[in-house]
Amino acid sequence: MSLLQATLPYTHTDDLFIDGAWQRSTGAGRTEVTNPATGEVWGSVPQASVADLDAAVAAARRAFTGSAVVGSGWRDLAPAVRARFLRRLASEIEERAEAISHTNTWENGSPVAETSKAAANAASIFRYFASLAPLLETPDIRPFPDGSAETVVRLDPVGVCALIAPWNFPINLVVAKLAPALMAGCTVVIKPASPTPLSVRLIVDAAVAAGIPAGVINLVTGPGSLGDALVKHPGIAKVAFTGSTPVGRSIAAACGTLLRPVTLELGGKSSALVLPDVDLDAMSQVLIRSCMRNTGQTCYISTRVLAPAERYDELVDMVTATIQAAPQGDPMDAATVFGPSATHSQQQIVRGYIRSGLAEGARATTGGDVTSGFDRGFFVKPTVFADVTPDMRIAREEIFGPVLSILRYSSLEEAVRIANDTPFGLGGTIFSADPDAAFALAPRLDTGSVGLGFFASNHAAPFAGRHDSGLGAEFGPEGLRAYLSVQSVHRRIR
């Protein structure tokens, strides 16, 4: 495979971003960055030492509270002033759109058709949270029931936040945390996932160009043990994490012991509930976006398709044809829909699930336990399984790869039961020609979000998982409040 021309501002680096400057790491180890489409190492970053981590947290604390040297802290700026910084940051990110896209693609193999939207989406997240400045400026006054006094409810930033992001969307899943944290008045230490440590540096560059004061944003890189140390660091006031449910449980346990607030956006095993009146042509147009986005490496996608028995065969045919027609190949090619798995280990996990599905009696209508057709890279052939039953592993466990399972149901009650028979509760989709019927059905699905005829996140609405899919919410005013602490000030009025 010959990769197309790429813009890569960063490759092999020796520094971390601490206290407003790129500083050489004192750590001895390094993490290599591999292109999943070729299997070749093209970059590397330092593994931060304990001293580096301490320096980053200390810088964030100084920037938060202010000092005789730096003057007032980030928390002390008026919300409207912080909002202006966020808007400038959004514009600077847009200026780096191509470099962000290409670096992201070389890190995790996401096709440029996906990553080319990352900068615009990140910018829109910053602008949305900047628009919430009035929520922090308007006094919330609540009278005592007897009318003798009133309470002014104040919102204070919680402090220094640890932002820990995954590898599947390394830009937007950082920004979903960074934007509300900054708007609230918090300062941050960012720890990206080990496979994707370079693209986020472009967000830091944009922050410098936007004039974000030194210490407000800090970036450290390293393995999972560094993330664990960051979560437990005494200078951290809040943790925000996106990633797997097992790691989320560990972080939740640590934060519970420390009584430290935490937001967790974790795994999913969502369902696309297809009603008998579905328009299959319309469904085919949004199938991949809703059920296999980013080569199946998306937490909320509906990887279980629940099909009515009377239309099962034609739905299997439509899904199979749609997946077969979507090109897989060079992720730098704008026509590519399916890229490689992000890492060699993830490729092996996905292939293991495919073999499990076949062993348990599922039927691969396309893909299966076959060679990818590529002589290098971490590719897995997109696979559709029919004749899947709810007890199979492929129907119960999060695969995080291009594997779709189609289950049969005989009644709506059975469909709802199958959809809710999972420890997860993140996303879900309902496909019906009757929007009112779909809307009436949505509350019966025990999940944080439901799409009617499509699935997408809305920056103005909370994205929250239930059960094993997480704690707390991102986006919307709810996402901003996750970075705020309340204070009630009681005063007499007569």
Question: What phi and psi values does residue 426 have, to the nearest 5 degrees?
Answer: -105, -60
Q: Among this protein's residues, is 255 annotated catalytic?
A: no
One digit per residue, the tens of pLDDT, for the chain of length 494 reads 445 568 899 999 999 999 999 999 999 999 999 999 999 999 999 999 999 999 999 999 999 998 655 568 999 999 999 999 999 999 999 999 999 999 999 999 999 999 999 999 999 999 999 999 999 998 899 999 998 999 999 999 999 999 999 999 999 999 999 999 999 999 999 999 999 999 999 999 999 999 999 999 999 999 999 999 999 999 999 999 999 999 999 999 999 999 999 999 999 999 999 999 999 999 999 999 999 999 999 999 999 999 999 999 999 999 999 999 999 999 999 999 999 999 999 999 999 999 999 999 999 999 999 999 999 999 999 999 999 999 999 999 999 999 999 999 999 999 999 999 999 999 999 999 999 999 999 999 999 999 999 998 899 999 999 999 999 999 999 999 999 999 999 999 87
Structure tokens at 225: 């043990």
On whether the CB atoms of residues 204 and 228 are closer than 8 A, the answer is no
Beta carbons of 330 and 37 less than 8 angstroms apart:
yes
3-state DSSP call for residue 265? strand
Pairwise CA distance, residues 166 & 180, whole Å? 18
From 107, 299, 398, 474, the catalytic residue:
299
Q: Domain 15-266+470-487: give its CATH code.
A: 3.40.605.10
Find the farthest-apart pair of alpha carbons in the chain and give their distance in angstroms, rounded.
81
Q: From CA 250, how far away is CA 132, in angstroms rounded?
A: 32
Q: How far is CA 468 from the centre of its chain?
A: 16
3-state secondary structure of 387: strand
Residue extents of the structural domains in the chain: 15-266+470-487, 271-460
Q: What CATH code is assigned to 271-460? A: 3.40.309.10
Check: CB of residue 268 under 8 Å from CB of residue 465.
Answer: yes
pTM reported for the whole predicted model: 0.95
Of residues 92, 265, 398, 474, which has the active-site annotation?
A: 265
- H or E segment to which residue 189 belongs: strand 187-191
Rounded-to-integer distance, Cα 74 and Cα 65, Å: 7
